[in-house]
Structure 1
């Protein structure tokens, strides 16, 4: 049996303790560096950010991870949540450019409100917080009133909650002359979408040439994401053989733009044809399913 002298044994213990201490120091340094790196990354976030939610997928947040929202009544790009509305839905504004490399910076903008304050926008929609979202990642405001929706970068459709107006005459959701907002479909940037009354389920009967398509352009889009008020099962895509384009449908109705709707929020096409809403109605959520071919 080998005997180790006490002196040598003490030296070995000292050696081991020193190495252990050195290893602990190194580990602490790496841990601190990692933490500082993470903290620095969080601290350096600016402007609108993208976050991933288990239910909603990719959503827009502020730099601290607080959820942002779109308001259907703002489809024209003008903020309409004012006064008491702002208590529940505070506006969001950041003068800083987004540092999120996955965000399309071209879609980010700002608008000046009637009172002079600035508000950040995405795809032209003014952005808001929801006061009841307390913790980072909360999304309690989606679907409120059927007109507030979590802000996402990948909606195929959106909803407008707006007055129908054409030829300086206001119309209700039943196309009677009168005031009152109607909830209807738009594209992801607030442009009004229409149905053609003679169309059939999944069949575009209008677009027989490029000339016609120039007057009532088809809405080209793949089915990506829709607001929670819209059933994704009601949305589809067809191919229009005459112009070789894909066209989005809702409840079987092919979707179109009207050429004279020059800006987001315009819905001038409702009076074209036989009368208000008879030939080219806007697509409301409660629209009947298009008839079979």
Structure 2
């Protein structure tokens, strides 16, 4: 019987010639969201390698980017996300925008691309207008731009006078407002009792500094020990949550409790705490 050896020869040739002569699909899995190294460090990117951003005006978890804003900042959405294995699926969600379209969120922040990012890894959208931030996985501090509304239901400006104006202030990574206390001193918490019995009223912000928006100076952040806990400090001011904010993102009830200005929001321009 005559055996045709040609198929075996072809297979053998391909094995010897790889990867030049007989190509196989060696490309890694395509992810809808990945982590990519950039000049800002590792940021979230879409399936084209383009940087994803968050908008500080979206702190309450809904999108404030409407109309022409969407042309410059295209909404990012995938019905079923295929994620880089280093990412946590629990950090991602979906919202329905006011225009009826869906949008993917990360840690509660709606995600966008930036039209002027021409190449994969570009981060040209960072700090555009002072309100756009490249999305990262490990922000300790985030920025919000919203109208301040106190526990009394009144609207306040950054001077703690009644009025309407957006104010930029610090939040944690999930958009929960952070405050200082006017009776604290530089690096000294004068509110929290030794037994933490009042901690539920103004919980200390327990954190170590990791990533920050590029406009913030890491050297201005430190930590102090409060009992056996670590509290984050900015310009000497220990940072707190307000219990009545209920852990809800974008809520600023503390600005008027017990009266306006006693527990101010914290900003980049906040003055250094007194000694």
Q: Which runs of 5+ in 1 are unaligned?
A: 1-21
Q: Deviations for 1:118-160, whole angstroms, at most 9, x for unmatched residues?
A: 0000000000111100111111000111110100011000000
- After superposition, the Cα gap between the structure-2 partners of 1:70 and 1:26, relative to the gap in structure 1 and judged at 3 Å, is same
Structure 2 match to 1:113: 97
Q: Which has the larger radius of gyration?
A: 1
Q: What's the offset of the Cα at 1:98?
A: 2.8
Q: Which runs of 5+ in 2 are unaligned?
A: 1-10
* SS in structure 2 of the partner of residue 111 of structure 1: strand
Q: What's the offset of the Cα at 1:46?
A: 3.2
**Which of 236, 239, 246 pairs up with 1:252?**
236
**Which of 138, 163, 177 pairs up with 1:178?**
163
* SS in structure 2 of the partner of residue 102 of structure 1: coil
Structure 2 match to 1:280: 263
Structure 1 match to 2:25: 36
* SS in structure 2 of the partner of residue 210 of structure 1: coil
Structure 2 match to 1:232: 218
Distance (whole Å) between structure 1 residues aligned to residue 188 and residue 13 of structure 2? 71
Distance (whole Å) between structure 2 residues aligned to residue 245 and residue 33 of structure 1? 60
Preserved contact between residue 14 and residue 22 of structure 2 (Cα < 8 Å): no
Residue 190 in structure 1 maps to residue 167 in structure 2: no
**Which of 117, 132, 151 pairs up with 1:133?**
117
Distance (whole Å) between structure 1 residues aligned to residue 22 and residue 164 of structure 2? 62
Matched pairs, number:
263
Structure 2 match to 1:212: 198
Q: Deviations for 1:73-131, whole angstroms, at most 9, x for unmatched residues?
A: 01111100000111211111111223311001110111110111000000000001111
- After superposition, the Cα gap between the structure-2 partners of 1:25 and 1:34, relative to the gap in structure 1 and judged at 3 Å, is closer
Structure 2 match to 1:6: none
Q: What's the offset of the Cα at 1:48?
A: 1.7
Distance (whole Å) between structure 2 residues aligned to residue 75 and residue 92 of structure 1? 17
Residue 81 in structure 1 maps to residue 65 in structure 2: yes
The structure where helix makes up a greater share of residues is: 1
* TM-score, normalised via structure 1 length: 0.85
Q: Deviations for 1:196-237, whole angstroms, at most 9, x for unmatched residues?
A: 111111111111132111111111111101001211111111
Q: Deviations for 1:160-210, whole angstroms, at most 9, x for unmatched residues?
A: 000001222111111111100000000000000000111111111111132
